[in-house]
Chain A
Amino acid sequence: MSENTNSTTTDLDYKKAKKKEEMKQQVVTFALMIVFTIIAFTMVTAGLDKLFVIPILIILAVVQVGFQLYYFMHMSHKGHEMPSIMFYGGTAVAFLTVLTMLVLVWW
Chain B
Amino acid sequence: MSQEHTLNPEVFPDEPEKATLEGKNKFLGFWFFLGGETVLFACLFGTYLALQGSTVGENTAENLFGLELVFIMTMLLLTSSLTSVYAMYHMKNNDFAKMQVWLGITVVLGLAFLGLEIYEFYHYITHYDFTFRSSAFGSAFYTLVGFHGGHVLFGLLWIITLMARNAKRGLNLYNAPKFYIASLYWHFIDVVWVFIFTVVYLMGKVG
Interface of A is mostly: helix
B35-50 residues at the A interface, CB under 8 angstroms: 35-39, 41-43, 45-47, 49-50
**How many B residues, CB 8 Å from partner?**
52
Contact partner of A97 (CB less than 8 A), chosen from B28, B43, B191, B197, is: B43
Contact B89 A23 (CB under 8 A): yes
Contact partner of A68 (CB less than 8 A), chosen from B41, B81, B207, is: B81
B74 → chain A closest CB, angstroms = 6
How long is the Cα–Cα vector from A60 to B203 in the complex, in angstroms?
Answer: 13
Interface of B is mostly: helix
How long is the Cα–Cα vector from A89 to B32 in the complex, in angstroms?
Answer: 10
Residues of A within 8 A of B10 (CB): 8-9, 12
Contacts known (A30-B78, A102-B46); A86 close to B32, Cβ less than 8 A: yes
How long is the Cα–Cα vector from A83 to B18 in the complex, in angstroms?
Answer: 14
- In the complex, besides A97-B46, A100-B46, 8 extra interface pairs with C-beta distance below 8 angstroms are A19-B89, A23-B85, A26-B85, A37-B197, A45-B67, A69-B187, A97-B39, A98-B46
